[in-house]
A and B are shown apart, each in its own frame.
Chain A
Amino acid sequence: MPKTRGMKIGDLANPNRFLRIARVAIPLCAAASAVLLAYGFYRGFHTPAERDQGTVFRIMFVHVPSAWLALGIYSLMATAALGTLVWRHPLADVAQKAAAPIGAAFALVCLVTGAIWGRPTWGTYWEWDGRLTSMLVLFLIYLGIIALWRAFEEPLQAAKAVAILTLVGFINVPIVKYSVDWWSTLHQRASVFRLDGPTMHPAYLSPLLVCALGFSFLFAALLMAAMRNELMRRRVRTLTLFAAREAH
């Protein structure tokens, strides 16, 4: 039987191969992110001001992609948790651990920009509205996951414990997504991903999508760099343990 050529997802399971790919992919993703974000922000700052909000709405080009990524990264972590528990993929828990602080950062950026945006438009920094509250809960779950990672000494044991917590916490993701439809109080409803197509004006939509893509590439670069660090950290840990045993 001839050997199949080309990349498969299984090939990434080999940490050495991952490190080789990451060496090329990290600068590429970082460059793509820089170009896309520069272009997206440029376009975003040259759109006409919004009728009701004036110019403050431009914070949307950071706020909305952060919100999408905060949810998207959690979904990725839940998939990685399945990868740890079900398929025992050797890189799944590395990806999960590396993604958690980045996801927490995007959730925090989303909350802070939302507060800055809310002050002039809603007249308040914070409101206990369904979407705001559930995003805050998501941020707390991120922090809990990071805390649990740090509580265990043995990485493999930590990986499985965190995977269970991540899967239980995944319930919150649809709650955040649909909270504005269920408890429609203050935050506006989805205006991009809708069954009947986006309701946002194309002049705002295209820079927003460019920014979202730019932030996604930024996440990809950060994730791979953090995964590389984590692999190195585990190697150092193993070597230190060996050295300690030898010296005994």
Chain B
Amino acid sequence: MMRAFFAILRRDLALSFRAGGGAGIGVIFFLAVVMVVPFAIGPDQKLLSQIGPAILWSGALLASLLGLDRLFGADAEDGSLDLLLLAPLPLEVIAFAKALAHWLATGLPLVIAAPLFGLMLGVEGKASLALATMLFVGTPAIAFLGLIGAALAASLSRAGLLIAVLIVPFTIPVLIFGTAATEAAISGTPFGTAFKLLAALLLFSLVIGPVAAAAALRIGRGT
């Protein structure tokens, strides 16, 4: 079972990094969001450093939603989704592997890029470390919640915007506790409660995401 799990993980990672799967595009989109905000509110360095973590969080959220329609869409088109459904591996495990690969290819680069982009918004030193830590816990939660939307829309041909509309309401708690923990950590106040709730959301999404996604995939394929 573990071998099959890692095989799916390797396949999806290879696809997103090599075959024009667009692993890097999320980071570029993230940069674009970060770049747009200072234009919109003006280059006030003090204000920017105040709202910097919030901009980076919303940018990371939007960038995480970007590739979700390809998560199952590409497999549904070329028929490999049918093979995955026939595989002896539980569908929940397959969904977990695919979400993990998706996060490694699109979420983790955002976490690594965030401190760098943070410099442009006046988020430095301890603050950027805090931000990266919180994003490291928060972005997988977003990816595993997004998995549900991706699975629901797997059999639809024009699913891109629909998935974002479906998933954004469910990611609001991640954003609330993620930004709360980040702000607290930056200002030096205890961030334990918000961080624990963020971690709880991650654990919750790790369970409910694959289970709901597997159910949605079975329905979509009429089995």
Contacts and interface: CB of A to CB of B under 8 A. Distances in A.
Nearest to A159: B219
Q: Is the interface of B mostly helix, strand, loop or mixed?
A: helix
A169 B153 CA distance: 16
A134 B60 CA distance: 22
A151 B220 contact: no
A178 interface: no
B222 interface: yes
A164 B169 contact: no
B76 interface: no
B202 interface: no
Interface in B129-187: 148, 152-153, 155-156, 159, 162, 165-166, 168-170, 172-173
Given A165-B152, A168-B170, A143 B216 contact: no
B148 to A, nearest CB: 6
Contacts of A165: 148, 152, 166
Contacts of B108: none
Contacts of B219: 157, 160-161, 164
Contacts of B215: 85, 164
B208 interface: yes
Interface in B184-220: 208, 212, 215-216, 219-220
Interface string A148-186: 100110000100110011011100100100000000000
Nearest to A160: B219
A147 B216 contact: no
Contacts of B169: 137, 140-141, 144, 169, 172
Given A148-B166, A167-B212, 7 more contacts: A85-B215, A141-B169, A147-B166, A151-B159, A164-B219, A169-B169, A172-B169
Interface of A: 85, 133, 137, 140-141, 143-144, 147-148, 151-152, 157, 160-161, 164-165, 167-169, 172, 175
Interface of B: 148, 152-153, 155-156, 159, 162, 165-166, 168-170, 172-173, 208, 212, 215-216, 219-220, 222
9 A-B pairs closest in CB distance:
A160-B219, A140-B169, A144-B166, A137-B169, A141-B169, A161-B152, A164-B216, A144-B165, A151-B156
9 contacts: A144-B166, A147-B165, A151-B153, A151-B156, A164-B219, A168-B148, A168-B170, A168-B212, A169-B169
